[in-house]
């Protein structure tokens, strides 16, 4: 596996990407200094380990953030992509500087609020940096690499690593803190997923219609959607089991934002059409808009 041999400087110096990165770093800094560090909370990941080391050994948190993330960024540069590595290095350095120099008072001591809002802010930070084209935690790089060689998702890989960290946290700070930190971790995952995917979360739309040709033309010509067609049969209803017809079963990939509009367009052609929607974790290949480029 080799990383991209060229660096996309236009993406690195893109104003929109830089603004997203700054906002992501600020959000993560609020999570760390306003919620998590003062209350001995951590999230799963390299930055969570950095917080843990800082607390146990009483060293400046910026040092482990840089030192622990750097090997993963080098690995990313060699194995995944140079542009991703450079943008991730910038994000990590900005985070280290932010937690070092930006003063944020402790926002709350309530463990429930810390778990929820600390997770929201760190999740927003992770998601915004991903949207900028980088990552803010080295474990995300390892998850990308491991995912290509295993059947596990990135979140599952990061969860496995987080469990080890939570056990160490429990031994040192107590199990109440661990349980609240787990809530923080899952809140962060869900928030990051929403920030990255948002209303663009992909869904698979399956359509069975007696007017399949018209529906095909509408999807492809009017809405510029790629479709797959399976040959099947429709009918076999409980009171008319013997009645059935050959038909085309249409499948297309849509975003959440497009769902209502396409449903209305399909039923305008065939009010008796049968459709169902499935959420999709990941889409690769074909004619699908990319959400993030490394």
What is the domain count for the chain?
2
Residues 25 and 39 in one domain: yes
Between the CA of residue 98 and those of 21, 74, 144, 168, 209, what are the distances in Å? 12, 22, 26, 26, 56
Mean pLDDT of the region 252-260? 81
**In this structure, is residue 242 part of a structural domain?**
yes
Residues 92 and 38 in one domain: yes
Mean pLDDT of the region 50-70? 88
* Structure-model confidence comparison of residues 82 and 166, the more confident one: 82
Q: Check whether 70 has a pLDDT greater than 90.
A: yes
**pLDDT of 293:** 40
Q: Which of 164, 198, 232 is the last residue of a domain?
A: 198
**In this structure, is residue 207 part of a structural domain?**
yes
Confidence of residue 138 (pLDDT cuts 50, 70, 90): confident
* Structure-model confidence comparison of residues 79 and 63, the more confident one: 63
| Helix 175-197 with 154-173: angle, nearest 10 deg | 150
pTM of the model: 0.70
| Helix 15-30 with 82-101: angle, nearest 10 deg | 40
* Structure-model confidence comparison of residues 59 and 177, the more confident one: 59
pLDDT digits (tens, 9 = 90+) for 193-237: 888 766 566 889 999 988 999 999 999 998 888 899 999 888 787
**pLDDT of 214:** 93
Q: Which of 152, 179, 198 is the last residue of a domain?
A: 198
Mean pLDDT of the region 264-292? 76
Phi first, then psi: give them for residue 103, nearest 5 degrees: -90, 120
Average the pLDDT over each of 29-38, 159-168, 238-247 and give the range with the smallest value: 159-168
Q: What is the CATH number of the domain that holds 244?
A: 3.30.70.120
Q: Which domain holds residue 19?
A: 9-198
Phi first, then psi: give them for residue 237, nearest 5 degrees: -75, 155
Confidence of residue 294 (pLDDT cuts 50, 70, 90): very low
| Six-digit token string for 279 | 């959420």
Q: Across the chain, what does the average pLDDT equal? A: 82
Residues 186 and 148 in one domain: yes
Residues 176 and 221 in one domain: no
Residue 263 contacts by C-beta under 8 Å, 6 or more apart in sequence? 275
**In this structure, is residue 288 part of a structural domain?**
no
**In this structure, is residue 257 part of a structural domain?**
yes
Side-chain half-sphere CA neighbours of 192 within 13 A: 25
């Amino acid at each position: 596996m080799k990383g991209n041999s060229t660096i996309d400087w236009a993406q690195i110096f893109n104003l929109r990407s830089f603004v997203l990165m700054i906002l992501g770093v600020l959000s993560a800094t609020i999570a760390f200094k306003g919620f998590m560090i003062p209350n001995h909370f951590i999230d799963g990941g390299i930055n969570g380990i950095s917080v843990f080391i800082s607390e146990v050994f009483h060293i400046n948190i910026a040092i482990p953030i840089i030192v622990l993330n750097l090997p993963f960024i080098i690995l990313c540069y060699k194995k995944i992509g140079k542009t991703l590595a450079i943008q991730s290095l910038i994000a990590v350095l900005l985070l280290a500087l932010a937690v070092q120099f930006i003063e944020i008072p402790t926002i709350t001591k309530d463990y429930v609020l810390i778990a929820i809002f600390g997770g929201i802010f760190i999740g927003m930070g992770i998601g915004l940096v991903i949207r900028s084209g980088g990552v803010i935690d080295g474990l995300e790089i390892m998850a990308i690499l491991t995912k290509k060689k295993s059947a596990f998702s990135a979140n599952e890989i990061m969860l496995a690593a987080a469990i080890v960290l939570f056990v160490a946290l429990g031994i040192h700070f107590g199990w109440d803190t661990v349980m609240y930190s787990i809530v923080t971790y899952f809140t962060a995952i869900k928030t990051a997923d929403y920030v990255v995917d948002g209303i663009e979360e992909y869904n698979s739309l399956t359509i069975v219609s007696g007017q399949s040709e018209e529906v095909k033309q509408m999807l492809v010509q009017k809405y510029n959607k790629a479709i797959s067609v399976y040959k099947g049969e429709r009918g076999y209803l409980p009171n008319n089991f013997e009645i059935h017809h050959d038909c085309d079963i249409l499948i297309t990939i849509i975003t959440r934002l497009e769902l209502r509009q396409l449903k209305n367009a399909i039923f305008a052609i065939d009010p008796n059409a049968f459709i169902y929607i499935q959420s999709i974790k990941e889409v690769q290949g074909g004619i699908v808009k990319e959400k993030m480029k490394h």
